[in-house]
Structure 1
Amino acid sequence: MEKIYESLKYLSDMELENFKKILQKALWSKGFRLVLRNQDETLERLKLAEVMEQLFDRQSLQVTMDILEEMKRPDLQKKLFDSSSASERQPFEHPERGEHVEQKDSSEWTRVEPTITDVDEAPIYSFQSAAGQFECNVSGLRWVCEDKLCFKYQFCSWEGHMERMKTIGYRSAGPLINITVITGKIKEVYLPHWICIDDIPNLLESFSVLHINDSGDVLEKVSEVTATHVRLTDPVFSPLAAVISSIFRVKVTCNVLIYYQPHMPFLKLHVYLILHDPALQQSVHKEESSIGYEMIKKPRPDKYLRMQQGFTLKAAIETAKVQPKKLTLRYDSQDPNFYEVFIENPTRDFDLTLLCADSKKKEAKLHPVWTCEIRRDDHPKSGLVEAAASSGGATCLSSPNSKIFQTPKTRILPELRGEIDP
């Protein structure tokens, strides 16, 4: 990287723009598109050198010399040539992008459990594997390796990136994952995505993989798109994720997250409808836990749901109050809104149902897309459930702040008061 930077800093601003144009052309012919962000003069050259090193590794020196040759700067070519060893000057060759091959059968993948550290913050998932084809049973991330491999990854927030993707015509299509290979090499990586591909034409042209770097974003063509993954061969790693052209109004896989407030004489739920994004789920869980809410784990919707669609939540119990009346499923919210469900006396089990209307019809009827049963043992620390458990079946409620619901103190008979040791 330092050697490339030494060459770039001798280029004028006009020559640097020409260098970037030639680089863009070379990248796209190999399956990449580079979108640089504005930097100050020195930082722009340094970050460009960093991106090239990340993309091409040792071959980045040869790529730089090839571009300088096209720019007719033999002086800088010679400077770079003299500073680099012969072993570092290798022609840039990359496997052809855009091929579509038959997906491996799910039985061919060995599901493995990661080692998880920093659980309370942003968890780090680590693996050690021999040669083979593996799938992480946390994220669905898949990889192929031909020898021993050690790597780790974290989920990253899309915050700050989604708006930038929108300006270049793309939307997030999967979780943003930062993968770091410690030893060995990943031959193929299959990144999970949350898009329903049934209505998407030209899959290979519609999907890309986004690499996020400090100085810019790199869009890489994918080798294959399946119902659940996009494939890269001989991948390079940085924070990366599947993205899709924003011309499509897509359907996606979603999570419904339910939290309740314990130690109250009523039942209060926070219900979130979000993309199937582990980083966003971790963020929501951290926020809810910080204010004392506890999670009620339920299956997520089995159907794909339409982005930008309005959804209504209903609770099948007479005393339930739900607000707001409707929420819209959005791409760009990293601080998602939620339904608040308030039930004064949750004396029985009830269903929560998510409904939506067909947006193509002006007065379409709402139809259910997901339902779950909330049982009394799902929220053991709230309302009548906690009170009954603590009093052996009594119906007094458990709010420590309400005189109405407090258990009366034991009454001492006057004739016995004098016999009691104070």
Structure 2
Amino acid sequence: MTDPELRSSAIAGRDTMAEQQPTADSPGKFSVIIRIQNSKSFAVPVSLDDSVHELKAKLSAWDSSLTPDGVRLIYNGQPMVDDMTLRQYNITPNSSLFCIRRLRGGGGYVDYASASSGLAPQALSVGLHKPLTDEASRSTEKSYRCVNLASPRPAKFCCCMVENLPKVMPEIIKDFSEFHTGYRAYLPGAGIFQCSITGLSFEVNSEVTITYRYDTWTEHLSKADQETWMPAGPLFHIEVQPRVVQTVYLPHFICLAVPLLSLAEGVNTSLCSIAHFESERMTLKKPTRLIAFSAVLENPSFSLLGVLWRKLRSNLNSLPMHSLVLIFQQLNAANTTLHLYLIPDDNSVKQAIEKQERNWNSKFIPKPPPLNPLFFGCVYQVISTKFVVIMPEAHLPFCYKSPKEQQLFVEIYIRNMAEEIGLFMTDTRNGAVVWRASLRSGDINLPASVSKTFSGPGEAQ
């Protein structure tokens, strides 16, 4: 496609881009992120009146191999025209652009839609920084300007889809136990129903009431079995009259989708089993089938049920898992003190953390989960765009810990929340960004009249 044709296409698509992006009310100078195909990324200072060609020239100043005539910039799946301005493309602070090198001999480019959609790693803005010395890297006070987004292997983007089942809100049984909340669900007749709190689902053949609660793997899984098996979801204690439940859907946090851009054959589902504990004895059942977030078992018998995954040598750090990042503000701490947790997407673990943080007089700050599936056994680093204190250190191992155990977290101390702060998490193996979030004063400050702490999902205040 020639530049005049591109210009015509860009003008025609300008209204579409305006719908996709907020109106540019950006300051005179800000940064955008340029993602180089299969390589590094740059945070480049720009203004709205810069032309695309001028942006290419700035990029060339960072890397002389990226000449203005030798690259094409892609935004929102469309190639950008040299003489158009960033204002015309509605570029905003922290926008991500993709830089595609021209093929030798003036040939074509990669597919633009693929380059700027989920098929390519999304570039993230984190400002600019000077490399830390070994001594500085050991300090708990860290500042960053840029993150290396290069990855030696393809990014693994999750495409798991949640199965849309009819939801039922259970009755919460208060004071069921010291560690676990109990639930009682009334199912009005035959059909499939999913608990809106736990994700546990049942297919029943008649009206029934089912009582269930979370239990703890470490109390029932022997030491020998813990060497062989890894919890892959919550453990449930379920009570229901016999022969009414035809199928049970037990939640798991393994990502079953074949990662895009990966040559791997996907997850080996034969390693999955359902543990059934009865009279302190564990029997293993093969699930009838596995779906995105549940292991399905037909004609179940009940007491304790949960999903296990067989451990293999070097298996964990290649097994993709759904995960959560939880952030809490300690309301009685000086200035702004946050606790940040990285856990598998296991609601029993999440509830245990919420209970502990309530005891510490904390407020929950909801933020999105990681961008991609994560891997047990890997270490992830927490970084910030502003000066913050991170203790005891900025590294979080990703692992499973029982709900009764103290969960790992980092404490983040922020002296001044007057400005927005970006938080990021990177994979220490390759520097790839796996999670990002912005903290604003509105996330932190509570109205003076508000004194109650948060109430977690399914929990009463």
TM-score where L is the length of structure 2: 0.55
Question: Which residue of structure 2 lines up, in the alignment, with residue 43 of structure 1?
Answer: none
RMSD: 2.6
Instruction: Give CA-to-partner distance per residue, 1:40-73, whole Å, 9 cap, x none.
Output: xxxxxxxxxxxxxxxxxxxxxxxxxxxxxxxxxx
- Aligned match for 1:282, one of 351, 356, 359: 351
| 2:375 counterpart of 1:306 | yes
Code of the aligned partner of 1:218: T
Q: Distance in 1 between matches of 2:383 and 2:225?
A: 33
Alignment partner, residue 163 of structure 2: 106
> Residues 310 and 326 of structure 1 are in contact (CA less than 8 Å); yes or no, is this contact kept in structure 2?
yes
2:380 equivalent to 1:380:
no
The corresponding residue for 1:123 is 181
Q: Per-residue CA shift, 1:145-200, capped at 9, x if unaligned?
A: 11112102111223344563645621111111111115871001111110122455
- Residue 212 of structure 1 and its aligned partner are, at CA, apart by 2.3
- The separation in 1 between residues aligned to 2:243 and 2:381, in whole angstroms, is 49
Could you tell which deviates more after superposition, 213-222 or 249-258? 213-222
Sequence identity (%):
26
Q: How does 1:212-291 map to 2 (within 5 A)?
A: 212-247=277-312, 248-249=315-316, 250-291=319-360
TM-superposed deviation, 1:261: 1.4
Cα distance change of structure 1 residues 377 and 242 upon mapping to structure 2, 3 Å threshold: same
Q: Distance in 1 between matches of 2:227 and 2:390?
A: 42
Once the two structures are superposed, the pairs formed by residues 5-404 of structure 1 within 5 Å of their partners are 106-107=163-164, 109-118=165-174, 122-129=180-187, 130-161=189-220, 164=223, 166-167=225-226, 169-182=228-241, 185-197=244-256, 198=258, 202-203=268-269, 205-247=270-312, 248-249=315-316, 250-332=319-401, 334-358=405-429, 364=430, 366-381=431-446
Aligned residues: 273
CA contact (8 A) 1:321 1:343 kept: no
| CA–CA separation in structure 1 for the residues paired with 2:228 and 2:183 | 31
| Counterpart residue number, 2:42 | none
Note if contact 2:204-2:246 (Cα within 8 Å) is conserved in structure 1.
Answer: yes
Tell which structure's C-alpha radius of gyration is larger.
1
Distance 1:306 1:344 in 2: 33
From the superposition, tell whether residues 371 and 322 of structure 1 become closer, same or farther in structure 2 (CA, over 3 Å).
Answer: farther
2:94 counterpart residue number: none
| Residues 224-245 of structure 1 deviation map (CA, whole Å, 9 limit, x = unaligned) | 1122211111101112101111
* CA deviation map 1:220-273 (0-9, x unaligned): 121111222111111011121011111132221111111111144411111111
Deviations 1:109-168 (CA, angstroms, capped at 9, x unpaired): 212222222179522222111111112222222211111121021112233445636456
**8 Å CA contact 2:252, 2:346 repeated in 1:** no
- How far apart, in 1, do the equivalents of 2:226 and 2:251 lie? 24
Is the contact made by 2:390 and 2:413 (CA closer than 8 Å) also made in structure 1?
yes
Residue ranges of structure 1 left out of the alignment (5+ in a row): 1-103, 359-363, 391-422
For 2:166, give the aligned amino acid. Answer: T
On the 8 A contact 1:140/1:192 being kept in 2, the answer is: yes
Task: Specify whether residues 166 and 297 from structure 1 end up closer, same or farther in structure 2 by C-alpha distance, changes over 3 A only.
Answer: same
Paired residue secondary structure (1:282):
helix
The CA deviation at 1:106 is: 3.3
Indicate how the Cα distance of structure 1 residues 165 and 195 shifts in structure 2: closer, same or farther if over 3 A, else same.
Answer: farther
Deviates more, 1:313-322 or 1:345-354: 313-322
Gap regions ≥5 residues in structure 2: 1-160, 259-264, 450-461
SS at match of 1:173: strand
CA distance in 2, matches of 1:378, 1:261: 13
Residue 307 of structure 1: how far off its partner (Å): 0.7
Measure the CA separation in 2 of the matches of 1:191 and 1:209.
9
Which secondary structure does the structure 2 equivalent of 1:159 belong to?
Answer: helix
Q: TM-score by structure 1 length?
A: 0.59
> Which whole-Å CA distance do the structure 2 matches of 1:134 and 1:119 have between them?
25
Q: Measure the CA separation in 2 of the matches of 1:222 and 1:380.
A: 47
Q: 1:54: which partner in 2? A: none
Name the aligned partner's letter for residue 123 of structure 1. T
SS where residue 218 of structure 2 aligns? coil
Q: Distance in 2 between matches of 1:273 and 1:145?
A: 35
